[in-house]
Structure 1
Amino acid sequence: MPVNGKTCCRALQRVVPRLILITAYIFYLLFGGLVFSMIEGPRYDQLVAEEEYDFEMAKDLLIQAYGNDTSSIDGDAVFERLKRLVYAAEHGDGVMIGQHNKTVVIGEEWSFGNSMLFCMTSISTIGYGHLVPHTFIGGFICVMYTSVGIPLTMLLLADLGRLYAVIIMKMYYKCLAMCCRCGKDKGQKSSQRDSQDPGAGGSGGMDPDGEKENNRELDLTEIEVTPEEEGALHSPNGAENHHVDEPQIQVIGHNHQQDIDADDALLDDVPIFLPPIVFWSYIILSAPMFALIEGWSFPTSIYFLYISITTIGFGDVVPECSIGLVFAWMGLVTTATCVVLAYRKIIKVATWVLEFLDSLVRRERIRQRDARYSSMSI
């Protein structure tokens, strides 16, 4: 099989499963948004009608208390004040009396976009709490929906986090190699200038043939020889083994496994400073765009991004634009990337701490045993 065919097959093995997973996730969000908007939308309209009726009745009672002189009463101010009183009554003493009017008071309707936001924040475990199901069927579907959606989200975040972690480590090593190469090239140029100096002496001039021979040896060490080619070189009829096609077809899976092992090797030794840099770089770089889209201040944007991508999700600040939702979800991918980058280092540190504590316990036991033996001998 040609080299291009092998490369295409290896690329398909990496891309196709990931595309299927992303497509399934998107369709799952669309399905959830459609279902919840259809179920919770009519109930929301009914609650809005009930709230408006209650507010109008309270307004009439206030007008009756003031008498016929209603010129000094601002109806809109009374309406807003009553909304605040209802919200305060439901959240009094830190305990919510009931969820009956929560989304109505906040003013979040169950549109298709808000329903998708509810689905995304639920299956990603952020849970802003700005929308809650009001019907028994909606609550039951929410339980069933999240029981499938949470594992799906974790699987997708783990896959994308590993992908971006490998890309970041490759970029890191490339930058490191470029920096080292620049320093090495400067040293080689200076040494070449010294060797070409006529007054440098006999040892300063290098033999051109010897330099070519060293370069030839270095080039030979960099040639990669596959096991099939190595066997062909050592066999008496090695020229015939070059035309065997079956081992080259079977090597595709082996190359895919080698790619996986190479990615694991990249993640074995991650610098401890890299995950925090990636995490905070995303927050700081995304905050200005987020502030521009939502009309927030820069500190508010940083606060919201941190609370969201760490899945704390207080819900005191909620995006109104769907683009903001995309930024928040990409922040979850960034968090997953940092976890993939850091977890092996954390495991190594935790193992070292446990081994250190175990050694302290063993030393203490040996000390107590020696003290007991010395007291018995006395």
Structure 2
Amino acid sequence: MCGGKIQTALLVVSYTMYLLLGAIVFQALEENAEKEQKLAVIQMKEAFLQNFTHLTVADVEQFLKNLTEAVQRGVYPVGNESQVELNNWELSNSFLFVGTVVSTIGYGTLCPKTVAGQIFCVFFASFGIPLNIVFLHHVGKMLSLLCEGLGKCLYEKGMKKKKIKFLTLLFFLVMGILVFLCLPPFIFQVVEGWSYSEGVYFAFITLSTIGFGDYVVGKRPDTNYRPYYRPLVAIWIIFGLAWIALLFNLLTTLLEDTEKKLVQDLHKMGKAGKKNEENQKRYRPARFSTEQPSSLGSGGDAQKTVSLAA
């Protein structure tokens, strides 16, 4: 028991330090490059506002193209030069980024632009994704042990095993849905300004690792986020991934068991049908011929009949 606790503590510390170290490295590699990109975009916008009456159609098209590329790189041309100080690679946001990397969510709204950052991301993900799988597996075991403990408590009170299995499964589903899908949207509604349905949508798309990137936390340029907000979101994502992985595994097992049962039932029905056919053939009454024997016998018989008649 003591060895298991030490192993768990070492895994948690190693995982946390790995994410924190990755966040620090990404911040150091990408922060200055993003500031330069923001400054270039703001200067481009100012030049457009000063000369927009003399611009040709080709100039406007080029401006829109540059603007679109800036937004795709995560640089939003809103505000003035004071907005340059608000970078996407501050430590809290960088920590959220590394969480989305090792969890393979990959929103796409924030990604390394420098060559050093991209190369580091390859090596960081190569070791971080297996580490994340091990960590999620351990968290899943902890959740399973929690359900087993509840089952033992109910069993000691004299409850039947089938009922215990149903109640523990119900507890696992209800608590997971409340903690990971129903309660977080209220926080997103207050902090991000989303509707509740949008928050539920974001929670499921994130925890299922689909990660469209149409809704991402901490991206409103006019909002001052608390430093602990995005790290808490990263922690919610990690534990939510463990829960939804167990849920998907449970649903997969349920579907496989249902498929096996259907195949077995169809096989039994086929065997029963064949057996009925064999029984019908075995006990079918014999058919007797009703045809009369032919009056034309052999040649000798015909001669005897003629002689008797004479």
TM-score computed with the length of structure 2 as normaliser: 0.66
* 2:306 match: none
In structure 1, C-alpha distance between the alignment counterparts of 2:76 and 2:65, rounded to whole Å: 8
C-alpha change, 1:332 and 1:349, in structure 2 (3 Å) is same
- Residue equivalent to 1:285: 183
CA gap 1:53/1:170 in 2 versus in 1, 3 angstroms: same
Query: Following the alignment from structure 1 to structure 2, what is the Cα–Cα distance between the partners of residues 87 and 303?
Result: 31
In the alignment, the residues of structure 2 paired with residue 112 and residue 104 of structure 1 have an alpha-carbon distance, to the nearest angstrom, of: 17
Residue of structure 1 equivalent to 2:195: 297
SS of structure 2 residue aligned to 1:32: helix
Cα 1:105–1:285 shift into 2, 3 Å: closer
Counterpart in the other structure of 1:131: 110
Moved more, 303-312 or 281-290: 281-290
Q: 1:37: Cα distance to partner?
A: 0.8
Matched, 1:15 2:5: yes
Between 296-305 and 143-152, report the one with greater CA deviation.
Answer: 296-305
Q: 1:179 to 1:32 in 2, by over 3 A?
A: same
Displacement after TM superposition at 1:40 (Å): 1.1
1:162 maps to 2:141: yes
The 3 A distance-change label for structure 1 pair 35 and 60 is: same
Which deviates further from its counterpart, 26-35 or 350-359? 350-359
Aligned residue in 1 for 2:122: 143
Distance 1:340 1:169 in 2: 17
The one-letter amino acid paired with 1:120 is G
Distance 1:171 1:332 in 2: 22
Report the counterpart of residue 113 of structure 1 in structure 2.
92
1:332 aligned to which of 241, 256, 259: 241
Alignment of 1:146-295 (within 5 A): 146-175=125-154, 178=157, 180=159, 276-282=173-179, 283-295=181-193
| CA pair 24-85 structure 1, distance change in 2 beyond 3 A | same
Shift of 1:333: 2.8
After TM superposition, list the pairs within 5 Å mapping 1:26-41 onto structure 2: 26-41=16-31
Deviations 1:322-359 (A, max 9, x none): 23333333322321343465565455445445656777
Q: 1:103 aligns with which of 68, 74, 89?
A: 74
1:14-93 superposed matches below 5 A? 14-64=4-54, 85-86=64-65, 89-90=68-69
Deviation at 1:87, TM superposition (A): 7.7
Whether 2:210 is the aligned partner of 1:312: answer: yes
State the TM-score, normalizing by the size of structure 1.
Answer: 0.55
Change (3 A) 1:43 1:289: closer
Q: Tell me, what secondary structure is at the counterpart of 1:53?
A: helix
Look up the match of 2:81: none
Deviation at 1:112, TM superposition (A): 1.8
Structure 2: how far apart are the matches of 1:341 and 1:165? 12
**Structure with greater Cα Rg:** 2
Distance 2:9 2:77 in 1: 37
Identical-pair percentage: 24
Which whole-Å deviations, capped at 9, do the CAs of 1:51-106 have from their partners, x for residues lacking one?
A: 122222222221446xxxxxxxxxxxxxxx99x9458844xxxxxxxx89521138
Measured after TM superposition, the shift of residue 120 of structure 1 is 0.5
Which residue identity is paired with 2:130? P
Give the C-alpha shift of residue 125 in structure 1: 1.0
d(CA) in 1 for partners of 2:187, 2:36: 37
- Partner SS, residue 113 of structure 2: coil
The residue identity in structure 2 corresponding to 1:51 is V
Give, as a single letter, the amino acid of the residue that structure 1 aligns with 2:8: R
> Structure 1 pair 64/332, CA: closer, same or farther in 2 (3 Å)?
same
Give the conservation status (yes or no) of the 8 Å contact 1:162–1:340: no
1:63 and 1:87 map into 2 onto residues whose CA distance is 19
* Superposition deviation, residue 149 in structure 1: 0.6
Shift, 1:289, TM fit: 3.8
The runs of 5 or more residues in structure 2 that have no matched partner are 79-86, 219-228, 279-310
- For 2:52, the aligned partner's letter is L
Considering only aligned residues, what root-mean-square deviation do their CA atoms show, in Å? 3.9
Contact 2:147 2:172 in 1 (8 A): no
8 Å contact from structure 1 (residues 32, 145) kept in 2 = yes
Cα gap change, 1:342/1:163 in structure 2, threshold over 3 Å: closer, same or farther? farther
Distance 2:124 2:136 in 1: 18
Cα deviation for residue 171 of structure 1 reads 1.5
Task: Give structure 1 stretches of 5+ with no counterpart.
Answer: 1-9, 66-80, 91-98, 182-264, 371-378
